[in-house]
Amino acid sequence: MENRFLDQAYKANHSIWNYVLGIILVVIGALTFSLPYNLVIANKITEGTADASRVEDINYLYTLLDSNTSLFYMMLPFVGAMITLFIIIKKIHKQSWTSLTTSRVKIDYKRVFFSFFFWASITLLLFFIGYIISPEQVVWNFDAKKFSILFLLSIVLIPIQTSLEEYVFRGYLMQGLGVSSKTKWVPLLVTSVVFGLLHYANPEVKELGYGIMVFYIGTGLLLGIMTLMDEGIELSLGFHAANNLITALLVTADWTAFQTAAIFKDISSPSLMTELVAMFFLYPLLLFVYAKKYKWNAWKEKLI
């Protein structure tokens, strides 16, 4: 059985070298848009207000700039990468944005919004259950002025960040690896592992240990399965946006990649339990619901 989503690449200029060039250009686009942040930090080092030996530590960087400014600069590379990817798809691959997104005639935004609100609802429900059971683990962190700025930044920039990751991993790379390897399991596994490994520099790894990498790779695997079974990235777009938006707006902590002016602050000791519960219980539940709603079948053929 063919996979209509992976086969979308055959409608474009699908030479493997085009994909190699495309990834290089996306990285360059991201690096170019990271220059403002680097210049700000360089200026602080010159002024003597920043320690050059510590600027690789993301937790230290949060002490140099307020959280909203930091978030803005952190998101800029994703904006640059997204603009670059769009140009690459149009100019190098001669491919439509729709065919990079889905095997359907047009992008199914109902799928995006269903996935977004379904995962957001689960996340909010679990947070408030945890808050009722152990209220001492979180504190009220709400600052109206800071939060309003955070909200505006988040609803604009975080969907760009999450969409860029989905378009690169579940769209661009998955289609490219699919046509070059002529398999489904290679793009599924490779994109999942690479997606997970790119989170290696996150401060969560330092706090929770290398076990968190299993969760990151497992999340990549979940999103890849969604894409292949549903033959489009609409569901993964919604899931990823909900996950990161809730993380940014609802609860923050001093040891996470997103340290924001969120409503609550987690002051509990870092633990892998939340991630393990999500991976081994919630992710299968998510796939079960989607499979029933969208009538997925032929799992083996579509994934392997």
**Residue 274 belongs to some domain of the structure:** yes
**Residue 1 belongs to some domain of the structure:** no
Q: What is the pLDDT of residue 1?
A: 57
CB 114, CB 238: distance < 8 Å: yes
**Residue 262 belongs to some domain of the structure:** yes
**Residue 233 belongs to some domain of the structure:** yes
Residue 37 in tokens? 């942040």
Digit-coded pLDDT (tens) for 79-125: 999 999 999 999 999 999 999 999 999 999 999 999 999 999 999 99
Q: What is the pLDDT of residue 178?
A: 95
pTM over 0.85: yes
Q: Which domain holds residue 237?
A: 6-303
**Residue 182 belongs to some domain of the structure:** yes
Residue 134 in tokens? 């152990």
Mean pLDDT for all residues in the chain:
94
> Quick one: pLDDT band at residue 258, thresholds 50, 70, 90?
confident
- Least confident range of 37-46, 86-95, 117-126, 159-168: 37-46
> Quick one: pLDDT band at residue 278, thresholds 50, 70, 90?
confident
Q: What is the pLDDT of residue 101?
A: 98
> Is residue 285 pLDDT above 90, yes or no?
yes
**Residue 296 belongs to some domain of the structure:** yes
User: Crossing angle for the helix pair 67-91 and 35-47, nearest 10 degrees?
Assistant: 150
Structural domain count, the chain: 1
Alpha helix segments (H runs only) across the chain:
16-33, 35-47, 58-64, 67-91, 97-101, 109-133, 144-166, 174-181, 185-197, 203-208, 211-230, 234-249, 273-277, 283-294, 299-303
Identify which of 130, 115, 138, 297 has the alpha carbon closest to the alpha carbon of residue 222.
Answer: 115
**Residue 254 belongs to some domain of the structure:** yes
> Is residue 77 pLDDT above 60, yes or no?
yes
**Residue 189 belongs to some domain of the structure:** yes
